[in-house]
Chains A and B, each alone.
Chain A
Amino acid sequence: MIHRRHLLAVAAAMPPLFLARAARAQPAPAWTEVLARARGQTVYWNAWAGDEKTNDFIAWVGAQTRARHGVAVQHVRLRDTAEAVTKVIAEKAAGRLQGGGVDLVWINGPNLLAMREQGLLHGPVLPLLPNGALVDTTRKRSNVVDFTTPVDGMAVPWRLAQFVFVHDSARLRPSDAPRSAQALLAWARQNPGRLTHPNVANFMGSTFLKQALVDLSPDPDMFQRPATDAGFDAATAPLWSWYDQLRPLLWRQGRQFPENGAAQRQLLNDGEIDIMMSFNPSEAAVAAQAGLLPESVRSFTFARGSIGNTSFVAIPFNAANKEGALVVADFLLDPASQARAEDIRQIGSANVLDASKLAPEQRRLFEALPRHPALPDPSQLGEVQLEPHASWMTRIAAEWGRRTAR
């Protein structure tokens, strides 16, 4: 799509950034005032729409906030979150400093970083929310540090993600699951053509390479610093030597890749591959429940741990319906909403709350959630590794594109 944003994006770099700061300097209105102003607003929530379950959840959120607070939600379905970022950039370049078209955006990683660096966000917003105090800021570190950058309350966490592999236990016994990058290569040697990963242009594919990079590196901490021209080649040499061996052993001899996670899941369901990867530890259970994968699927992670991150919602500096967006963000943090999101009949994404800050009846909401044999116990998932700095992802994706183009 060619958007208005394209024509204006370059100009956006020029105007000064004081306007976003001016918006930030306004005093925080009391929550009752927010609720009063929010009534009647329609929040344009720009969110990646590649997952039906999440789309349904967003629709449910809209129905709830409308009934409770008179705030409607319009889901602007994105294929790539960058679309929303550039839309805001274009509006700023065009001088639209209020009444912007994006009220709320589902965001993290490089996109969040870009919006913060360009002063495109309203906030800090987390301290304004009554439910903001329930967020786990100590054990779920990715709620406060996103891809190595402190969030500073400029975005509201709403779901956790962690990298897992999913396999059909009817074909691959859980005890035989390869629990390191090297073991995965050895397994692929014995089972050529039975493993693949999504295209690295897709976040799922690049996360697989990042996971391998972290697992293969003697010093994973170095990925917390930005990648440099000099350091990149040396740091990623083990990754590429591993990948060069693995690629011919992949499905279709590594000449073809599924476009995204959902296409890869279809391959597992069709019996074309034995192992897939996901960014949601409960995807196996959710998909089995929905008839998208066999009941015999199970999940595993590398023994050293696996990469995890947090999904946030953020409000652009020029959003037309800021109060409504705050109400929606607060509703997402409501323990009942978090419990619904964690329900494997819904999206099955882990909650961002601190259990010790919850009232007993709120904790029971989570304890009462249905279990499924494919749902891994948090202890099985191992240590949550922090996301590398965003620059690693960009460079790895570019290098992979260069290496695989025909």
Chain B
Amino acid sequence: MTARIQAHALLRLAPGLTLGVFLAPIAAGLVGTILPAFGVLPALGGDGLSLAPWRRLSEAPGFATALTLTVATGWSATLLSMLVAIGMAAALHHRPSGRRLGAWIAPALAMPHSALAIGMAFLVLPSGWLVRALSPRLTGWSLPPDFSTVGHESGWPIVLALALKEVPYLVLMILGALNQVPAEAQLRAARALGYGPAQAWLAVVLPQVLAQVRLPAMAVLAFSLSVVDVAMILGPGNPPTLAVLVVRWLGDPDPRWLFPAAAASMLLLALVVASLAAWRVAEAALQATLARWAMRGARQPAIGHVANMAAGAGIALLALAAASMLSLALWSVATRWRWPDAWPEGFTAATWIRQAGTLAGPAATTLALGLAATLIALALVLACLEREAQARKGTPSRGLALLYLPLLVPQVAFLFGLQVLLVRLGLDGSFFAVLWTHLVFAVPYLFLSLADPWRGYDDRFTRSALSLGASRWRVFWRIKLPLLLPPVLVAAAVAFAVSAGLYLPTLLAGAGRVATLTTEAVTLSSGADRRVIGTWAMLQAAFPLAAYGAAVAGPALSRRIRRWR
């Protein structure tokens, strides 16, 4: 009896504890960044309020260009991803292929951003795989052409690489949102009025879906504006984007650069907040336009073609992502692969064998961090959801909307201040510190992917079991969890993939001393042997893919085994 009461009390604490776990570091981190942005950091002689950091920021060489580049790439990536994702959903929702879409794009979702970016870099270089495949026969280029792709001043490779990752994410979010609206019935009605499937979807379903995917779209926008690893790998260097500039200054041996770095972090935060507000306004304008368009009621079969084109673009992006990963795989087993050969000279396992020793340590760290973060996040999220279910609130508790915060606040803006805090506590560079920052991101993603299936559970199973005399614990372990195991496993795989792919949190909280496959792969991407990069990026991508595979195949396998018995 006492045990049950204690468990119940613990459960009641769960939402507060969960929010504390990741709101505390964000809040403390933001404060720790704002103070030096206005000149306050006594340890470095910053004793009073001053605008000097902002002056230093605005006078830094290339600052204006960096700012424009950041806005341009962040917004372009988000708009492109959103358009393609909507087009794909509009064009494919009524086809059988649309239903299998989820299975096709899940692997792209598991891929770490940095691994994709590294693979894409080799694909689109003037001496890269795409040009090699066509040269010199089709292009006439006996030497690689002297034009810029990776590192182009406009930053278009950043936009492309972000779209590779964000289109699958948004498509999945839209597919998920479709389950929340009576789409099928409304579509049938619209089709009966003579509208094509794409137009019917855009006019009737999209307005409802847009509101449903508002937060995911905003997360994409915030992420695209503040991404570090992708911009480091594919973006220009002189100047880079604002977020990369911050990271570069933080790593400068001269500690006085901390002040303009803090100011730049705050500027990025302001930029993201303004962009999110602008997004909200743009969405309202789009809704109004869609409504006027629907009211006019013109049947426009051409819409179908436009949607098909967007879907084609989406499929091309998926193919590009697959080719990126394939190029990494090929490099990891190549002997030599020189311009203009379309394929490596020969194949060998030598690189893998040589790298095995160095790969092992960071691989073990990646695994340990990922598993620990996933298990802790899972315990917290399950407790929160159970608490919500037992409290029988009709609507999800509003406090938990704060879960989106880590996905909306730019990472550099709070990680920087958090680092100061960790140093004070003597925790910087520890496994614990890195694990904590991983939790900040693992908890929200896990919650977001598990909340809907959990809330969709039919509570009559629980009530029947309770009435038969089973305890709440027993019902949870024997009835509810087994029934919900498939979504729990998928959500756990998502959390693991998030942890495995984190670059900046690992780098900053780990003070450069905690090496994961992701931090090492990004470091190597600045010029190491492509065969070596290939092994690191492949392994980096293999971990989350394996987690997804296990999450999907696990329940099916156990069911089959049970049937054999």
Contacts and interface: CB of A to CB of B under 8 A. Distances in A.
Query: Are A and B subunits of one complex?
Result: yes
A82 interface: yes
A9 B236 contact: no
By Cβ-Cβ distance, the 8 closest A-B pairs, closest first, are: A263-B527, A405-B61, A82-B253, A262-B527, A270-B127, A271-B339, A193-B146, A6-B255
Contacts of A6: 44, 250, 255, 258
Contacts of B416: 2
A261 B236 CA distance: 17
Contacts of A267: 127
B420 interface: yes
B338 interface: yes
Contacts of A11: 43
B237 A199 contact: yes
Interface string A377-406: 000000000000000000000000110111
A137 interface: no
A145 interface: no
Contact of B512 (A83, A262, A272): A83
- Which of A5, A261, A272 has the largest count of B CB atoms less than 10 A from its CB? A272
B527 A80 contact: no
Interface in B120-137: 125-127
Interface in A31-82: 50, 52, 55, 59, 76-77, 79-80, 82
A263 B526 contact: yes
Given A2-B419, A271-B143, A406-B153, A10 B255 contact: yes
B423 A4 contact: yes
Interface in A227-281: 251-252, 255-267, 269-272
A256 B151 contact: yes
A406 B65 contact: yes
Contacts of A97: none
B148 A7 contact: no
B428 interface: yes
Given A2-B416, A261-B527, A272-B126, A86 B253 contact: yes
Contacts of A5: 255
A251 B428 contact: no
B238 interface: yes
B336 A291 contact: yes
Contacts of B428: 3-4
B508 interface: yes
Contacts of B340: 271
B527 A405 contact: no
Contacts of A290: 529
Contact of B251 (A1, A263, A269, A405): A1
B527 A10 contact: no
Given A83-B512, A258-B527, A10 B43 contact: yes
Nearest to B132: A270
B62 interface: yes
Interface residues of A, number: 53
B165 to A, nearest CB: 23
Given A271-B143, A404-B238, A292 B529 contact: yes
B511 A4 contact: yes
Contact of B338 (A3, A252, A294): A294
B526 A402 contact: no
B338 A406 contact: no
Contact of B144 (A7, A79, A271, A406): A271
A1 B511 contact: yes
A405 B66 CA distance: 11
Nearest to B354: A56
A365 interface: no
Given A263-B526, A406-B62, 8 more contacts: A5-B255, A7-B43, A10-B255, A83-B512, A252-B148, A260-B527, A272-B127, A406-B238
Interface of A: 1-11, 50, 52, 55, 59, 76-77, 79-80, 82-83, 85-86, 193, 199, 251-252, 255-267, 269-272, 290-292, 294, 401-402, 404-406
Contacts of A406: 62, 65, 153, 238-239
Contacts of A7: 41, 43-44, 255, 420, 423
Nearest to B415: A2
21 contacts: A6-B250, A6-B258, A7-B43, A10-B255, A50-B527, A77-B515, A83-B253, A83-B512, A85-B253, A193-B146, A258-B527, A261-B527, A262-B526, A262-B528, A263-B526, A264-B527, A272-B126, A292-B529, A401-B61, A406-B62, A406-B65
A52 B532 contact: yes
A133 to B, nearest CB: 35
B417 to A, nearest CB: 9
B407 to A, nearest CB: 23
A266 B527 contact: yes
Contacts of A4: 423, 428, 511
Contacts of A271: 127, 143-144, 338-340
B153 A272 contact: no
Nearest to A198: B527
B530 interface: yes
Nearest to B142: A271
B489 interface: no
A185 B258 CA distance: 39
A50 B520 CA distance: 11
B358 interface: yes
B45 interface: yes
A369 B511 CA distance: 41
Given A82-B253, A256-B148, A258-B527, A405 B511 contact: no
Contacts of A251: 146
Contacts of B250: 1-2, 6
Given A55-B358, A291-B336, A402 B61 contact: yes
A251 B528 CA distance: 20
B65 A1 contact: no
B335 interface: yes
B56 to A, nearest CB: 15
A263 B508 CA distance: 25
Residue among B125, B239, B511 having the largest count of chain A Cβ atoms under 10 Å: B511
A260 B255 contact: no
